[in-house]
Amino acid sequence: MKKVLMLGLAVLMAIVWTGPAAAAEYKATMKLASTQSMDHPYMVGAQKFADLIKERSKGRITIKLYPSNQLGKGEREMTEGIQQGAIDLLVTSTGPLGGFSPSINILDFPFLFRDFKHVDLVLDGAIGQKLLKDFEKADIKALAFWENGFRHLTNSKGPVRKAEDGKGLKIRTMENKVHLAAWKAAGLNPTPMAWGEVFTALQQKVIDGQENPIAVFYSSKLWDAGQKHFSLTEHVYSPSPFLMSKKTFDAMPKADQQLFLKTALEVAKFQRKINRDAEETKLKEMAKSGVTVTRNVDKASFKKAMAPIYSEFSAQFSKADIDAIMNAK
């Protein structure tokens, strides 16, 4: 009887001991990448995330930061790195993400969101959670929605106040079919390109313009590449899923997985706030650097010009799903 009990105990202990590594013994050094420099809200958020994880894991988990395209020439390449496990964490716009998780493209429609309040409501609600979950099918763990911001059109040729003024401009878009279609519909001449190639392309006048949120324009000093005209078009909101390699996520003990999810959400709030709070100051500093900021943009003209793309993509994105986002209150 005693022998049987001992055997039972041994089996039980073996089961316990061969289970997943307990949080106390799990140690890792991870790579976090983005296209942006250390002063951009992506990397300010990333630094905070790394500090909090280090502190909360009592030094077991170190996250090294790789800003400014160090790990790839653009977000598509780096997302592939996430899939393969060569990169552990990535802050990226939705630019190329539709190629990995098609449902995410629904957020790329122009004039979908009214304002930041509307954005938070949708991204932090059931729709946002579903979109994050969908990434798992692509072997990617999407932890939370961080932020890039509302995007604006910039160019080297002249002020653009209404859609008509932009006709024929050669602009770079992200590698994103919805964005590409929207600019075509508006009569511009868009060409998709990885972010790492944009500054040089602008400098060499291969393209006349690009579109990005204030923070990206500011951190990259695009006025030094001849971008002297900035129009506050707010034509599309650019969310930034904070992605993790599913390989890395699955290898962590449950408690650390929870820690990452919780901390990513906490930093999302902080990161969105610092991004929004700094926009007006950045605009003023851009003006001091010689950028002409056009504030009184006729947004209705862009909205009207881009509207046909909603029916163009109706087979992939139903009106009901689009309406659920647009009408969220």
Shortest distance, CB of residue 195 to ligand EAX, whole angstroms?
4
Considering beta carbons, is residue 57 or 69 the nearer one to ligand EAX?
69
Task: Return the number of the residue (242 or 310) whose C-beta is nearest ligand EAX.
Answer: 242
> CA 55 from chain center: how many Å?
25
Return the number of the residue (23 or 190) whose C-beta is nearest ligand EAX: 190
Give me the least distance between CB of 35 and ligand EAX, in Å please. Answer: 4
22 to each of 52, 105, 317, how far by Cα in Å? 20, 38, 43
Of 35 and 245, the one with the shorter C-beta distance to ligand EAX is 35
Residue with Cβ nearer ligand EAX (148 or 227): 148
**Least distance between ligand EAX and beta carbon 57 (Å):** 27
* Tokens of residue 204, six digits: 């060499």
Using CB under 6 A, list all residues that contact ligand EAX. 35-36, 75, 92-93, 95, 148, 174, 195, 212, 216, 238
Torsion of Cα atoms, 43 then 219 then 118 then 323, to 10°: -100
Distance of CA 112 to CAs 44, 107, 237, 309, 328, Å? 27, 7, 8, 12, 11
Q: How far is the CB of 33 from ligand EAX (least distance, A)?
A: 11
CB 55 within 8 A of CB 100: no
Q: The tokens 């790839």 sit on which residue?
A: 72
Give dist(CA 169, CA 187) in Å, integer. Answer: 8
Please provide the size of the chain in residues: 329
Q: What sign does the CA torsion over 177, 240, 127, 85 have?
A: positive
Least gap, CB of 317 to ligand EAX (angstroms): 21
Nearest to ligand EAX of 212, 248 (CB atom): 212
Contact between 285 and 67 under an 8 Å Cβ cutoff? The reply is no
Please report how close the Cβ of residue 166 comes to ligand EAX at its closest, in angstroms.
Answer: 17
